[in-house]
A and B are shown apart, each in its own frame.
Chain A
Amino acid sequence: MARWGMVIDLDKCTGCQSCAVACKAENNVPHGSPEEHERRTAPFWHKVIAVSNGEYPAVRIDLIPMPCMHCDDAPCVTVCPAKATYRREDGIVIQDFRRCIGCKYCIVACPYGARSFNYKEPEEKEYHRPDLPPERADRGIWPFPHRVHGVVEKCTFCFHRIDQAIREGKKVGEEVVPACAEACPAHAISFGDLDDSDSNVSRLLSSRQWMRLREEMGTSPKVFYLTG
């Protein structure tokens, strides 16, 4: 089984936010108003943060694109009471909207602020969930593969692309990558199988210096940042 991971080259990243925008478009993530963004009630699956160190003129700015880290030891999976957040065999941490009761415990527990709650009924209701049966077809009277308010959502590593690529026999990581990696004009984001020593991500990790965010939380994130 593959173990999907992402490698982001901070030397190449220009902070253009293409990845964040592409993610919104690909997954139809609701667009919040500026006020909602200010209040932090607008959903984001991917964000680019700017971190400053020092005082002008001796200041250093780091630009960090932050999707969900798809932690191997994910606190969000540990705390979810309803099994709505779970780790797939290929390491992707996924969110089942049907099961989510909206307790927000996972938002509290995620050390990377990767999760968003749907604070209002979204206009953007469609999203790719080939894993969930379509509305009312299967069990339950709750038509949940449509986005509704009151549940939590987050980055899925574009698992719909990955699953489809595997079905079609395409190579994940070269022919097919998540939307953010595809959109990056600087080719800063690579995606691939961490367990495969021949994959592009493994080669990058073995040849460059890398770090992961908040290692002290013991979450073993699968998003790596190349620093040198």
Chain B
Amino acid sequence: MTTDFVALEGKTRGYRFFAAVLGVIALAGFISFIISYIQGHQVFGSNNVIPWGMPIVLTIYLIGLSAGSLILSSLTYVFGREEYRPIARMAVFLAIVLIFGAMLSIAIDLGRPEKFWRLFMFFYMNNMSSMFAINGILYGGYFIISLVYLGIIFAGNHRASRITGIIAVGWAVLVHMGTGAIFGFIAAREAWFSPIKPLEFLAAALTSGVALLIVAVTLTLALSGRELKKEMVASLGRLLIYFIIILLVLIIVDKLTHLYSPHREATLYLLTGQYSWIFWGFQIGLGVVIPLAVLFNPRLNKTIGWVVTAAVSVVIGIFFERYYLVIPGAAYPMQYYPGKIEGVWGSTGSFPLTPVEMVLSVGIIAFLALIFILGLKYLELLPPGEPAKEEVKESVAEAGEANNTAKTSEGQ
């Protein structure tokens, strides 16, 4: 079976309108970045207890989505699962856009972003025992490999796309485990320090990647009047079940090992402290319980609407998992000396959500959504619509298309 791919026409008012809206939000994000560059990170919520804020949350989240979505594209190009072919190109393109966004977010979070290039002076100016430097290689390489991969897919060379697909997937796995290692190798932060963090990150990547792909794909296809196979969505939903269960097992193991080890205070704080409702409500509730309840229900797991609902719930849940790890995960005060440390030095870190940081984060997402819909217009990523319906539905289609991307970014 061969599928042709076409580009979106993108001439309707709806499409232009959404592109413009996204552009404006992205511009607002850019202005916030300039403010933070001139005024320093005092305009962010981060401080010396919780050094990393929303840009890092976004980074690891976007990397997760990217790796997950790339790994899925391999189902077609490496394992030859034809039923996923209509969405495979979109998956690869989405992966590229997302990894670009992740690198952008890291650069923005640096105190001196103009020295970003120092991260890429491998071996020469880098300390290669730093996970950041290693991840510099991983992310940069991943970006290039995915671009090559997409190029080869466009060229239509099956053998070559299979080989690059294998390399790209292996690399994506490394990328995500490397990201987990940034956190997992830090002995000073007890709630992070864990050898299974890389695996947990990988599982979270696959889960959120599949979920985002379900959302993006069904909405894009359905709303642009293209044929959407119920079986494809349902089987993606079944895939999602496996990933959620793996993730759940890893979360439980991670928390249990932390509760058994001598330094359990930070983890106890995460599970029962002030912000534990984020963990139980969002990470476990939205990320695990609701989607599993839907996907295991034999009546619901075959309807597109419900599978998409479960996927949206996962996308939000995993976002909060990342948020909870980076921000409250660092908040518990370090025990410099046994006893209760009095005053500021022993108090739990706080993290105000500042307007500049919020606008910046939303701006990054809008910028990525803009690239994505521009990509749909200028690259041949979509399966062709049915010719008869095409003209009638065109305007609905494009409005819906932009709408979908906007929704996706809300989810993020």
Query: Which residues of A pack against B, CB within 8 Å?
Result: 36-41, 47, 49-53, 60-62, 64, 66, 75, 77-83, 99-105, 107-113, 115-121, 142, 148-152, 213-214, 217-218
**A207–B130 alpha-carbon span in the complex (Å):** 39
Q: What are 21 sample pairs from A and B whose C-beta atoms fall under 8 A apart?
A: A41-B42, A51-B338, A51-B339, A51-B341, A78-B130, A80-B127, A82-B119, A99-B118, A101-B118, A101-B119, A103-B109, A104-B52, A105-B131, A105-B182, A108-B330, A111-B187, A111-B188, A111-B334, A112-B334, A113-B334, A121-B40
B126 in the interface (beta carbon within 8 A): yes
Interface string of B188-207 (1 = CB under 8 A from A): 11000000000000000000
In the assembled complex, the CB of B117 is this many whole angstroms from the nearest CB of chain A, namely 9
- For residue B159, give the distance in angstroms from its CB to the closest CB of chain A: 38
Least CB distance, B98 to chain A, in whole angstroms? 21
**Contact residues in A for B118 (Cβ distance below 8 Å):** 81-82, 99, 101
In the complex, the answer to whether B132 meets A119 with C-beta atoms within 8 Å is no
Which has the most chain A C-beta neighbours within 10 Å: B186, B188, B335, B342? Answer: B188
How many Å lie between the Cα of A116 and that of B344 in the bound state? 14
Q: Is there a chain A Cβ closer than 8 Å to B3's Cβ?
A: no
Stretch at the interface among B214-222, B281-289, B345-353, B373-381: B345-353
Q: Is B48 an interface residue (CB 8 A)?
A: yes
Residues of B within 8 A of A110 (CB): 188
Kindly list chain A residues whose C-beta atoms are within 8 Å of the C-beta of B344.
37-38, 40
* Contacting residues of chain B (339-373) with chain A, CB-CB under 8 angstroms: 339-346, 349-350, 352
Are the C-beta atoms of B110 and A102 separated by less than 8 Å? yes
A107, A112, A115, A217: most-surrounded residue (chain B CB, <10 A): A107
User: Considering the complex, which residues of chain B in the window 126-185 have a beta carbon less than 8 Å from any beta carbon of chain A?
Assistant: 126-127, 129-133, 136, 182
* Count of chain B residues near A, Cβ 8 A: 51
Q: Which A residues lie within 8 Å of B257 (CB)?
A: none
Q: Is the CB of A102 within 8 A of B47?
A: no
**Residue from B46, B126, B349 within 8 A of A81 (CB atoms):** B126
Contact present for B115 and A101 (CB under 8 Å): yes
CA distance A51 to B345 in the complex (A): 10
A49 touching B188, Cβ below 8 Å: no
Q: Are A52 and B339 in contact (CB under 8 A)?
A: yes
Partner of A82, one of B48, B126, B131, B345: B126
Residue B274 at the chain A interface, CB threshold 8 Å:
no
Whether A107 and B48, one on each chain, are in contact in the complex, defined by CB atoms closer than 8 angstroms, is yes
Give Cα distance in the complex from A30 to B51, angstroms. 18
A79-B110 in contact (CB<8A):
no
Query: What is the distance, in angstroms, from B122's C-beta to the closest C-beta of chain A?
Result: 10
A residues near B187, Cβ cutoff 8 Å: 75, 111, 217-218
Bound-complex Cα distance A117 to B110 (A): 11
* Residue B112 at the chain A interface, CB threshold 8 Å: yes
B388 CB–A CB distance under 8 Å: no
Interface status of B273 (Cβ within 8 A of chain A) = no
* Contact in complex: A41, B110 (CB < 8 Å): no
CB atoms of B130 and A40 under 8 A apart = no
Query: How far apart are B46's CB and chain A's nearest CB, in angstroms?
Result: 8
A112 touches B336 (CB 8 A): yes
Residues facing A in B313-352 (CB within 8 A) are 330, 334-346, 349-350, 352
Q: How far is the CA of A142 from the CA of B118 in the complex (A)?
A: 14
Taking a contact as CB atoms under 8 Å apart, the answer to whether B40 and A40 are in contact is: no
With A40-B48, A151-B112 known as contacts, the answer to whether A47 contacts B127 (CB < 8 A) is no
- Contact status of A49 and B341, CB under 8 A, knowing A111-B187, A118-B40, A149-B40: yes
Beyond known contacts A82-B115, A119-B41: 4 more, CB 8 A cutoff: A39-B350, A99-B115, A109-B186, A111-B188
For A40, A80, A112, A117, the residue with the greatest tally of chain B CB atoms inside 10 Å of its CB is A40
Chain A residues near B51 (CB, 8 Å)?
Answer: 104, 107-108, 117
Inter-chain contact A75/B337, CB cutoff 8 Å: no
Whole-angstrom CA separation of A112 from B336 in the bound complex: 6
Assuming the contacts A40-B48, A53-B338, A102-B110, asked whether A81 and B119 have C-beta atoms less than 8 A apart, the reply is yes
Give the CA-CA distance A166 to B46 in the complex, in Å.
40
